[in-house]
Structure 1
Amino acid sequence: MIIETERLKLREYTFDDFDPLYEILSDEETMKHYPKPFDEEKVRWWIQWNIENYAKYGFGLWAVVLKETGEMIGDCGITIQNIDGELLPEIGYHIHKKYWRKGLGSEAARAVRDWAFENTKYDCLYSYMKYTNIASYSTAIANGMKKVKEYPDEKNTVSYAYAITRREWEALKKS
């Protein structure tokens, strides 16, 4: 599986991605909206979980690679997440902090959104995040999503859910 954008390639994870992924997911600043940064065991689990998702669903979080250098700088893709008690398709993303504020997360998320609507039957795609994660909901908004729900969440205190419907996406593609 490869999705290409102007600056990025998205491909399936392999265990060779452990070192760059560990650098991202173990970073306190990057993971400040999670209960805690990931340790080595959790990063290995993350890769394995996504490999299992590829087999089960045909998608998961994909490694985000800079075309120019071949460097793996994060992940972006679709997973099935519990959003306020419903299992829903969610576009998630993590980008290495040295690449923040360059539009790479939004570029990857738009490509995943397009891939999902072109290759799945989902009528709505979601992104959810801790209410304090301004960067994450800014990426969701840049991806054409609107806030559809705010709910109490044991893990996040309060979570926001953003969504875009197939109809909204089709209208975006026409404009």
Structure 2
Amino acid sequence: MNPILELESARLLLRQWHDDDLPEFAALCADPQVMRYFPAPLSRLETAALIGRIRGHFAEYGFGLWALERKDTGAFIGLTGLLHVGFDAPFTPAVEIGWRLARRHWGLGFASEAAWTCLRCAFGQLGLEEVVSFTSQSNLPSQKVMQAIGMQRDLGGDFDHPRLPADHPLTPHVLYRIDRAQWLETLRG
């Protein structure tokens, strides 16, 4: 399959990563507010390594976490996309949808708009049957995005993230799902 290098929504371009995205992305990943639901903020080197892993996912699977760019200003604002879950859990193997936006772009509907565009790609171009999303129990903003794009919480699917220590406050995670039929229903909705 040819890689899906670009997607577009009304206000956003979901595109491949450019080398000059690193400074803005490193600032985003170093922001303690943005990273409060992750184990720790990332250094510039860790952020560069993350971009490398994202590019590797695209090379292997043809899709991944796209860089987000505002059409009106050309500003890099974060990432949104689809990736294979990289750990074992009762719901894996699975493809997850995720997002991370710079704080100054919060509350404008960009996360939901970009995520909706990714779901259209997942069920349309990629032909997936299901997409999952998960986050720490305390991350209510991300859960609101999951709900806004039609995902349903799988109450029986909540889990402790295997890459975090058992006593870490972010270890308990919630699981959301959406399948092709649910997505089609939201389109009719």
Residue aligning to 2:160: 152
The equivalences for 1:56-95 within 5 A come to 56-81=60-85, 82=87, 84-85=89-90, 86-95=92-101
Equivalent of 2:135 in 115, 129, 133: 129
Q: Normalising by the residue count of structure 2, what TM-score does the alignment of the two structures yield? A: 0.89
2:48 is the counterpart of 1:34: no
8 Å Cα contact 1:63/1:74 also seen in 2? yes
| Cα distance in structure 2, aligned partners of 1:47 and 1:18 | 8
Retained in 2: the 8 A contact 1:75–1:95?
A: yes
Deviates more, 1:151-160 or 1:92-101: 151-160
Matching residue's letter, 1:172: T
Q: Which residue identity is paired with 1:110?
A: W
1:165 aligns with 2:182: no
Report the equivalent of 2:16. 12
Report the 3-state secondary structure (helix = DSSP H, G, I; strand = E; otherwise coil) of the residue aligned with 1:47.
helix
CA RMSD of aligned residues (A): 1.2
Q: Is the 8 A contact 1:15 1:44 kept in 2?
A: no
With over 3 angstroms needed to count, the CA separation of the structure-2 counterparts of 1:159 and 1:83, relative to structure 1, is farther
Deviations 1:92-134 (A, max 9, x none): 1001111111111000000001111111132110111011111
C-alpha displacement at 1:172, in angstroms?
A: 1.5
Cα gap change, 1:83/1:100 in structure 2, threshold over 3 Å: closer, same or farther?
farther
The code of the aligned residue for 2:56 comes to: E
> Aligned-pair distance for 1:83?
6.3
Task: Tell which deviates more after alignment, 80-89 or 106-115.
Answer: 80-89
What is aligned with 2:48?
44
Aligned residues: 175
Question: How much has 1:42 moved relative to structure 2?
Answer: 1.1
- Matched residues in 1 for 2:93 and 2:65: separation? 16
Tell me, which stretches of 5 or more residues in structure 1 are unaligned?
none
**How does 1:104-115 map onto structure 2 within 5 Å?**
104-115=110-121
- Structure 2 gaps of 5+ residues are 165-169
Q: Secondary structure at the match of 1:74?
A: strand
Instruction: Check 1:123–1:99 CA distance in 2 against 1; reply closer, same or farther (3 A cut).
Output: same
Moved more, 75-84 or 123-132: 75-84
- Whichever residue aligns with residue 107 of structure 1, its letter is E
CA distance, structure 2, for counterparts of residue 83 and residue 27 of structure 1: 29
Query: What secondary structure is seen at the aligned counterpart in 2 of 1:87?
Result: coil
CA distance in 2, matches of 1:143, 1:12: 23
Once the two structures are superposed, what CA deviation does each residue of 1:121-152 show, in whole Å capped at 9, x if it has no partner? 32110111011111111111111001112112
